[in-house]
Amino acid sequence: MAIVKPFKAVRPTRAIVGLVAARPYQSYTVNERESRMEYNPYSFLHIVNPGYKYDQEVTGKERYKLVKNRYLEFKEDGIFVQDEKPSFYIYKIVNRYGQKFNGIIATTSAEDYERDVIKKHEDTLAKREQTFKTYLKTVGFNAEPVLLTYPDNDTIAKIIRETQKGHAEFEFTMTYRDTHYLWKIDNKDTIATIQKEFEKMETIYIADGHHRSSSSYLLYKDEKGRNPSHNGTESYNFFMSYLIPESDLVIHEFNRLIKDLNGLTKEEFLIKLDEGYRIENRGLMPYNPSKPHHFSMYLDGEFYSLYLRKTNYQFKTALDALDAQLLYKTILRPILGIHDLRNDDRIEYVNGKHEMITIKSSVDSGEFMVGFGMCPSNVQQMKQIANEGLKMPPKSTYILPKLRSAITIYEY
C-alpha cells in the first residue's frame, strides 16, 4: 500500500516562475551559474549559491545557513508564496523533442521507503546521504522532487486529463525549450480518490533521486528518534516526489569512455575480447547496437560490433542480464582493470542522448583510448532488479524527465 499525501507547496508567483525555476545546481558550469545569477535576480541559483552575494565561495554548514537566509528573503519579498490548502499538483513537461510527461507532485512516505514499498535500483554513497541530510535539516525545505514511477492507472490518468482541461497555475518555457505546466488539485474528494488508487499499489519505484530519497529517510529516522511525541503526521515523515506512470518514463543508456587499455596493445586487447565476444570490424561508419547484449566499440579510428558469446556467460539474475553489468563483468573489470565504477578516474560516462559520434570525437581527441555504446535498459528490467533486491551499477540509466528545482517546494 503506497501512501501519498497532499501538501501546502511553497511556489513562485505565476509572473516569474520561469525566471525562478532552475536545473539542478551541479548541472551548470561555473560560468553558466554566474551568468544566470548576474542577469536574473529571481533565479533559484541565488538561494543555493548564497556566497555569490558576497563574491566568495561558502561551503559546509555555513553555506546551508545562508541558503536558508536567502530562501527566507525570497519569501519575505513575495517571490515565493505558500498555498493555503493541502493540494496535489498535476505537472506536465513537454520537451524540445516533443516527449510528454504527465504526473502528480505529492509527498510520499519515509516509512514506505523503509518498508520497501518504495523500491530502489541503485546504490547510494553514505557520505552524500549524510551531507544532504544535514542540508535538509539546516535549510528546512526541499525544492526538487524525487522521480517515482507507478503502474499505469486508468483512474489517475482520467483525473490528470480532466484537470488539464482547466486553467493552468503555471505555463512557461525554459531556455532548453522544454515547456512546463502546473495545475492544482485541492478538492477533497479528488484527493481521496487519488490516495485510494495509490493505496491499491503494492510497490512504486524510484526512477531518479536515490540520494534525495535516502537522505530524507535518514532525516526522518533522526527526527523520529528525537521527538518523544512522534505520531507519524509530522512533515519529516514525508518527502516530495513527482509520480509518473511507467509508460511516461523514458530511459536512455550511459555509454562508457576509457582512458587506456590497461597496458595492453590494441592487438592484445582485441584477442582478449575475442574470448567472450564475436567481433566484427564496422570500419569508419558509426555503429549502434540494435539489441541487448550487443555493444558497439570505437577504437583506433574504427567502429566494431561486439556480440556476446553466451556459452561463456550465465544469466542467473536480472542484474546479470543488464548490459551495464555485463560490460563491467566481461570487459571493464577483467580486461581493463576497472573495479570501482564510481571512483576510478579512468572511466567517464556519456548519456545516450548523444550519438556515437560523441564517443568518436572523444577518442579521436586522444583523451580516451576506447569507447563503448550499448542499448538502453527498460522499465521492466529496472523493476525486476529492484524486486530482487539488487542494485544496478552506477550510470546504468539516464532517465527522463529531468526536473527543475523550485517549481514546488516542500517545507520540513
Report residue 197: phi and psi, to 5°. -65, -40
> Which residue type sits at 268?
E
Stretches where the chain sits below pLDDT 50 are: none
**Right CATH number for 254-396 from 1.10.1060, 1.10.3470, 1.20.272, 3.30.1760?**
3.30.1760
pLDDT of res. 176: 81
- What angle do the packed helices 154-163 and 188-199 form, to 10 degrees? 150
SS3 248: helix
Q: Give the torsion sign (CA, 116, 120, 126, 131).
A: negative
Q: Report CA-CA distances (Å) from 404 to 2, 50, 92, 400.
A: 25, 19, 12, 12
206 close to 102: Cβ distance less than 8 angstroms: no
pLDDT of res. 401: 95
Kind of pairing between the strands at 146-150 and 238-245: parallel
pTM for the complete prediction?
Answer: 0.93
- What angle do the packed helices 126-139 and 60-76 form, to 10 degrees? 40
Three-state SS sequence of 98-127: CCEEEEEEEEEEHHHHHCCCEECCECCCHH
> Which residue type sits at 139?
V
336 close to 261: Cβ distance less than 8 angstroms: yes
Report residue 241: phi and psi, to 5°. -140, 155
Quote the CA–CA distance of 165 and 160 in Å, as a whole number. Answer: 9
For 78-103, how does the pLDDT look when each residue is reduced to its tens digit (9 = 90+)? Answer: 999 999 999 999 999 999 889 999 99
Q: Give the torsion through C-alpha atoms of 359, 363, 369, 374, to 10 deg.
A: 10
pLDDT of res. 310: 82
Among 263, 282, 291, 280, which Cα is nearest to 377's? 291
> Which residue type sits at 204?
I
Q: Report CA-CA distances (Å) from 26 to 23, 30, 33, 122.
A: 8, 9, 10, 19
DSSP 343: T
pLDDT of res. 329: 96
Residue-wise burial string across 102-116, b where 16 or more C-beta atoms lie within 10 A, e elsewhere: bbbbbbbbbbbbeee
Q: Report CA-CA distances (Å) from 316 to 108, 182, 320, 385.
A: 33, 44, 6, 12
For 180-207, how does the pLDDT look when each residue is reduced to its tens digit (9 = 90+)? Answer: 999 999 999 999 999 999 999 999 999 9
What residue ranges in 187-285 does DSSP mark as E strands?
204-208, 238-245, 250-252, 254-258, 277-283
407 close to 13: Cβ distance less than 8 angstroms: no
Domain residue limits, the chain = 4-251+400-411, 254-396
pLDDT of res. 352: 78
State the CB neighbour count (10 A cutoff) for residue 293: 19
pLDDT of res. 58: 85
